[in-house]
Structure 1
Amino acid sequence: MEVALSAVAGELVSRFISFLLNKYHSSRLHSQEKVMERLQHLLMRVCTIVEGADTRYINNSGMMMQLKMLSEAMYRGYSVVDNSKYQALQDGASSDVVSSNDSSTWSLYLAKRSRTTNKATHLELHCALEDLEIVVANMAEFVILLGGCECMSRRPYDIYLYIDNFMFGRHAEKQKLLSFLLHPDPLGDHALAVLPLIGGATTGKKTLVAHVCGDERVRQRFSSILHLKGDNLLRILDHGRTMKGVMLIVIEFVSDVDDDDWERFHSFLIRIGRGSKIIIVSRIKSLVRFGSVKPIFLSALSHDELRYLFKIMAFGSVDPTEHPRLLQLADEFAKVLHSMQSSLVEITVFADALRRSLHVQSWCCILDKGIRFLKRNLSMYGMQPRIALLEQGHPVDITDVTSHPHSMTPYTINASIEKPPSVTAAELLTDPSVRPKGDFILILWESRIPPYESFVYFVTSRAQDTNQGSTLAGRKRRGVPV
């Protein structure tokens, strides 16, 4: 009798727990669905405003700051929405396990774990919603003023045929650069306006300048656009007679410049080009001393921006919600790439490789290779295997990518030597068997938008590093960005 009563009591307790769990989950899900619906509605409005702002010329500095805040809140909101969707799928899987398991202890364990995760997700949703509501509430004047801004001419739609054939983000920075170029200098035409554009390697400095220089109004504003190297700064003095009209001079500096040389260059341009303007492009912060206006600093992408971009590029035209496990792996990739301070080039390479095969096993393999590659070079050099590492003369170890002891150095042109076979980094990450025998050229990435930068490297066996280093030192380098 006691055994029967104990069994009945156990069954009743189990059913009561299941009843409470179902009631709790249904009420929590209903509340969370409302928050999600409101958040997605606001994201749609914010995305519309940001896209609209990208088609206008904004001159007001306050509006530029608001645009930056709006875009940051948008990327953060998209990140939270994706996390919540994935958590909902996990909860669904957990509830199936609970319903098929008779153990009340196991049910309580799953319920406790689910409550902890749900609380964090629910809090994250509410925070993102509050941030967006605050930003949108202050956007009424912004939208009204935006309607009074002049529209940009629309580019042909065929430039968007490729998923990576566009410039991502930098909304406020683009508007600041356009405002600088299109409006007269406050000091008058006799002054020479100088804007420093400062940022780390592969943060998109030259891409931003090329994008803005392609604007129709900018091309009409300047009679000519000159691109100079900082180490040849004074060569322009020999061409004074041929330089006429209002010019835009873009100067790339890889090292600092003497103040006297800059003064000679600056004075020369003032004499011959009234209304001309200069953009300084460099990684060197001390060059801001030559600016006549507030400099633009390009920082690395935030985690939310990086995650948004990486997801778009990795999935391409495929709906990420159809592959929840891959969506989770994309988040893992984004966390690793952001923690390692990876460049836009590295982000593009990994995304391109993932897009070639939408399978969990393939993505896990590439993620494992990427983590081991980054950690190996961090332990060897004490820094990430970025472009700067190569420029300092250190060969980057890519053993984890090629599945063979290899390292890469900047590729240089030598007409007397037959060009080695080549392979792209995405192909190598997806299938190491495509690796050519012997030395080869690794095409890390080739940009499809101006300035059409290419990142090409020479790969040798680790045993040949010392000999190859001395051979390559005297050659002309190619494909190394400022």
Structure 2
Amino acid sequence: MEAAMSAVVGELVIRFISLVLKKYHSSNHAQSEEKMVERLQHLLMRVCTIVKEVDTRYITNSGMMMQLKTLSEAMYRGYSVLDNSRYRALQEGAGFNEVSSNDSSSSRLYLAKRSRTTDKATRLELHGALESLEIAVANMAEFVVLLGGCERISHRPYDVYMYTENFMLSRHAEKQKLLSLLLEHNNPPGDHAIAVRPIIGGAAIGKKTLVAHVCGDERVRSRFPSILHLNGDTILTILDHGRTMEEMMLVVIEFTSDVGDDDWKKFHSFVIKMGRGSKIIIVSQLKRLARFGSVQPIFLGVMSYDELRYLFKTLVFRSVGPAEHPRLVQIADEFAKLLWNMNGSLVATNSYADVLRRDLDIQFWRCILGKGSRMVRRNLSIYDVHLNTLIHQGHPVDITDFALHPLSMTPYSVNVSIKKELPSVTFGDLITDPSVRPKGDFTLIAWESRIPPYKSFPNFVTSHAQDTHQGSALPGRKRQGEPI
């Protein structure tokens, strides 16, 4: 009997010691993670200060531009990891309260398993983000010194707001590259050479917004008395005004289709005759137009997920602290994933942000998210092609889920001219209140900037979307379920 009691006591002592050790290690892990979060916050504060200062300076050093790109990427990743850590803490707190109230062994077991699964991943994320930021900051000493010697940009009072509205929270390095070229006094090699910089990128990715912001810079405007915006399809019409255009100019040309080499040579020869120092910016989605550049093109790609996530949250929450709405932060992450899967369309990003700002309510946000997700799935089911491809190629898009009525949408810039007599509805009004839909055809304004360059994105919307789309898979693509 005594031996049995001794064995039981021994087992209980072992279990007790094991429990104490587990709690000790758990406490150490929590403290370690908390210190990592604090360190991450501190580094992000330093890096964000540097990046903001960059936007107030003119940078011409290519090495500094590369460092800036690395620094900004590490910053966006760091903010993403920090948000994930905060939301995980919120989930665990909610889970703990729920388990305490229910006091069920199955709930406690579930929470313990979930905690063990996510703890390691979270620590790895924190460690990776910290390492990237620490390396970036460690290499910033010379960068900061050189930045202090760069000329300061004179900002107007509404510039910060303008940058937020028109997506200039990112593209720091690209903006500096374009500014560097336009403010350069020396022409490229050659007696009569003209600097031509192509800006190439996908649809709605921010090409024209980038150019508009740079052209609005005071030094650029003072350097070029005239900034001429042209359509690539009609560039030769400028030849008819040769006698009245003899001063130094900045010419911005938007190409929606390719142009022949002979036509380009004629146009280029004409610009050469203008005042010495004239420069050309080519804006297009077509990579082959990069052949006309005299300097390295700027290729605008899709933002990284972390960068788009940071941008979207800034647009949505504005002056409202995200920490005040932790549940909405998690839904904002889901929106960011949806937008990134749509190729990071900045028009869609600002459209959704404009809608969500109207009501910081969880159910409202989930309703809008559901509509957007269903629209993507519906078009994929109809065409067997991603929504992004449809928009890029100018095919009608089914937006039934937005208006709760069969509708088809086509951007005006693709193959239809704007019909001014049609009633107009904004995306925000339609998605929040489908009853505003006009009975017949109408113009849907996806988004319109409130300040220069006042860019608008209208779409032609017609009813009977199902009749239009049913059985109309894109040419060359097999519909799901069809025999090969």
Q: 1:196 to 1:413 in 2, by over 3 A?
A: closer
* Partner residue in 2 for 1:150: 151
1:47 aligns with 2:45: no
Q: Distance in 1 between matches of 2:159 and 2:252?
A: 28
1:321 aligns with 2:323: yes
Q: Distance in 1 between matches of 2:31 and 2:208?
A: 48
The DSSP-based 3-state class of the residue aligned with 2:252 is strand
1:374 maps to amino acid: V
Query: Alpha-carbon deviations, 1:194-229, whole Å to 9, x = none?
Result: 111101111111111111111111112122111111
1:419 aligns with 2:422: yes
* Partner residue in 2 for 1:469: none
Q: 1:161 to 1:343 in 2, by over 3 A?
A: closer
Q: Which moved more, 1:93-102 or 1:249-258?
A: 93-102
1:226 maps to amino acid: L
1:205 maps to amino acid: K
1:57 maps to amino acid: Y
Q: Distance in 2 between matches of 1:208 and 1:446?
A: 16
Residue 217 (structure 2) aligned to one of 215, 219, 242 = 215
> Following superposition of structure 1 onto structure 2, how do residues 358-377 of structure 1 map, counting pairs within 5 Å?
358-377=360-379
Is the contact between residue 187 and residue 195 of structure 2 (CA under 8 Å) also seen in structure 1?
yes
Is the contact between residue 408 and residue 462 of structure 2 (CA under 8 Å) also seen in structure 1?
yes
Question: Normalising to structure 1: TM-score of the pair?
Answer: 0.88
Q: 1:200 to 1:413 in 2, by over 3 A?
A: closer
Q: Distance in 2 between matches of 1:382 and 1:9?
A: 66
1:61 aligns with 2:27: no
Q: 1:157 to 1:459 in 2, by over 3 A?
A: closer
Q: Which moved more, 1:249-258 or 1:440-449?
A: 440-449
Q: Distance in 1 between matches of 2:439 and 2:18?
A: 64
The DSSP-based 3-state class of the residue aligned with 2:303 is coil
1:135 aligns with 2:136: yes
> Following superposition of structure 1 onto structure 2, how do residues 67-466 of structure 1 map, counting pairs within 5 Å?
67-99=68-100, 106-157=107-158, 160=161, 164=165, 167-183=168-184, 184-187=186-189, 190-386=192-388, 389-390=390-391, 392-411=393-412, 412-414=417-419, 418-420=421-423, 422-462=424-464
Query: Alpha-carbon deviations, 1:182-201, whole Å to 9, x = none?
Result: 11223266211111110111
Q: Distance in 1 between matches of 2:335 and 2:197?
A: 35
Q: Distance in 2 between matches of 1:322 and 1:21?
A: 34
Query: Alpha-carbon deviations, 1:341-367, whole Å to 9, x = none?
Result: 241111111122222122221111111
1:261 maps to amino acid: D
Q: Distance in 2 between matches of 1:276 and 1:343?
A: 32
Q: Distance in 2 between matches of 1:118 and 1:131?
A: 20
2:205 maps to amino acid: T
Residue 250 of structure 1 deviates from its aligned partner by: 0.8
Q: Distance in 2 between matches of 1:288 and 1:162?
A: 27
Equivalences, count:
461
Residue 63 of structure 1 deviates from its aligned partner by: 0.3
Q: Distance in 1 between matches of 2:288 and 2:225?
A: 30
Q: 1:119 to 1:273 in 2, by over 3 A?
A: same
1:288 maps to amino acid: A
Q: 1:118 to 1:144 in 2, by over 3 A?
A: same
Residue 276 of structure 1 deviates from its aligned partner by: 1.1
Is the contact between residue 189 and residue 275 of structure 1 (CA under 8 Å) also seen in structure 2?
no
Query: Alpha-carbon deviations, 1:365-415, whole Å to 9, x = none?
Result: 1111111101212233343434x7357452211101101111123454446
* Partner residue in 2 for 1:29: 30
Query: Alpha-carbon deviations, 1:396-439, whole Å to 9, x = none?
Result: 11101101111123454446xx432x322112222323333333
Q: 1:405 to 1:16 in 2, by over 3 A?
A: farther
Query: Alpha-carbon deviations, 1:236-274, whole Å to 9, x = none?
Result: 112111111211111111111111111121122223332
2:196 maps to amino acid: V
Instruction: Note the residue ranges of structure 1 that are not aligned, 5 or more in a row.
Output: 1-6, 467-482
The DSSP-based 3-state class of the residue aligned with 1:438 is coil
The DSSP-based 3-state class of the residue aligned with 1:169 is coil
Q: Distance in 2 between matches of 1:427 and 1:88?
A: 36
Q: Distance in 2 between matches of 1:14 and 1:242?
A: 93
The DSSP-based 3-state class of the residue aligned with 2:302 is coil
Q: 1:106 to 1:405 in 2, by over 3 A?
A: closer
The DSSP-based 3-state class of the residue aligned with 2:165 is coil
* Partner residue in 2 for 1:479: none
1:60 maps to amino acid: N
Residue 109 of structure 1 deviates from its aligned partner by: 4.0
